[in-house]
Chain A
Amino acid sequence: MSGNDDIAHLEEELPLQDLPLDGWHRARGARMVGFAGYHMPIQYEGIMAEHAWTREHAGLFDVSHMGQIGFSGEGVDDALEILLPSDIKGLKPFRQRYSMLLDEEGGILDDLMVSRLGDGAFDGADIYMVVNGATKYDDIGWMIEHLPDEVVMNHMDEQALLALQGPEAGEAMATLVPETADLIFMQSGLFTWRGVPLWISRSGYTGEDGFEISLPAADVTLLADALCALPQVKPIGLGARDSLRLEAGLPLYGHDLTPAVSTIGADLGFAIHKRRREEGGFIGHARVMKELADGPGSKRVGLRIEGRLPAREGATIHAGGAQVGEVTSGGFAPTVGAPIAMGWVSLPHSAIGTALEIEVRGKRIAAEVAPMPFVPHRYRRKA
């Protein structure tokens, strides 16, 4: 047995960790699976029912596996503008942006949410970041390497994170915290509920109106119970979270986004602020500028699929005899009522309406490049 085999064996043996709500999920009949290093609920009553409930009412998702990081110190904005292609200096208190970490070649290391704090939240830190669970330790390592000593980064692993999503999320949240009624999409604030500090942003990853709520892990059971006691709210598992985000056209890191792909190809150019494009000064800028000028080699697109057979991650995409891409996530879309997919295809085949074929178990099924989202976003953009 080689040394490498020994290491691979050890990695497999690493035990999964428990989320603060582990017992709470199990008590509600969740089926637990390993995901991003944690035991996580994949479903409670069933993915289809949970998906539909979230689109019609409000679903509560435990996303405590995600990394929550606070930043403070002299020059924090300048330092983060080296790491992120977003406008951090122009980010106002209580506002949030979608952003990403890029490597030197412009490959995507992670996608994330970044906010400017206020009201002394998180011990008076300046900036708050939420990164993906599976990548959080790599992200932290990358950032330690690239941040100056004056900037202090605090991985707040004692904080839990819940997402409340759906058209009735606003009503439900306001029942517990009336002041949240005034929040609009990508706005956040510090609130107090039964003496517990809640950092709440109006955002999420389902395409629906909703909130993400960061609070001390010690208090998360209390809040989850209070939310699920409301008639609008049910707990929802990872399975429906995935089908909801796919219908919303939102990419999943590690699948639709990887270090091998670029921001412009991923159709995430909106996350790169105009000033930042012009001035540069962030890691990965050269790739962004080159692809803005010459176009990316391939693009992330939505695919509508004929018939009922789902095309999943890894299925190859063809135009006539040539392979032109690959499905990066796909499945049956409960609200659409048909299979849909997201994939990467070479630029000449990426225009909306292009007829393509996807190979599933040796059979070719017809697909068409489709606009995303597949289900319209219903964010609350105005008070």
Chain B
Amino acid sequence: MSRYFTDEHEWIDVEGEIATVGITDYAQEQLGDIVFVELPAEGTTFEKGDDAAVVESVKAASDVYAPISGEVVETNSALEDEPALVNSDAEEDGWFFKLRVTDASELEGLMNEAAYKKFVASL
């Protein structure tokens, strides 16, 4: 399994044709206390860059974009009852949705963990 990162602070785990998407620990730290996550319906198809989810913190609503194109095959229902999972475990249990990847070549431009760390350090 490989993990990729975007400059919009999302992480993507790819296993076969399925990609699991969430926001990074850095992103949850910036957003603050998360009180609601609006997830896409299963079966929705996204083009890379589409609005895919909305994270509501105490202070504001923020969009989460589809980091790659694909069809939503599963969403993290645990976030409905416990949105704060995104704060406590952003990069594991706080995942958002799983996509069936349409175009694996879109992964090529994304960062690996070391590159993302460097990117965050530069902000």
Contacts and interface: CB of A to CB of B under 8 A. Distances in A.
Given A361-B38, A361-B54, A310 B33 contact: no
A331 B83 contact: no
B56 A310 contact: yes
Given A239-B32, A361-B54, A47 B59 contact: yes
B82 to A, nearest CB: 11
Given A309-B38, A361-B38, A42 B33 contact: no
A361 B56 CA distance: 12
A309 B36 contact: yes
B38 A331 contact: no
B35 A46 contact: no
A309 B53 CA distance: 13
Contacts, number: 42
Contacts of A47: 32-33, 57-59
Contacts of B57: 47
Contacts of A312: 60-61
A332 B58 contact: yes
A43 B80 CA distance: 25
A332 B36 contact: yes
A332 B56 contact: yes
A334 interface: yes
Nearest to A337: B35
Contacts of B60: 312
A308 B83 CA distance: 10
A243 interface: yes
Contact of B58 (A239, A308, A309): A239
Contacts of A339: 35-36
B123 to A, nearest CB: 13
Contact of B35 (A42, A239, A308): A308
A190 interface: no
A42 B59 CA distance: 10
Contacts of B80: 308
Nearest to A240: B58
A310 B32 contact: no
Interface hub of B57, B58, B60, B80 (most chain A Cβ within 10 A) = B58
Interface string B12-48: 0000000000000000000011011010000000000
A334 B84 CA distance: 13
A304 B37 CA distance: 19
Interface of B: 32-33, 35-36, 38, 54, 56-61, 80, 83
* Top 8 closest pairs, chain A to chain B, by CB: A332-B35, A48-B33, A47-B58, A308-B36, A332-B58, A239-B59, A310-B56, A309-B36
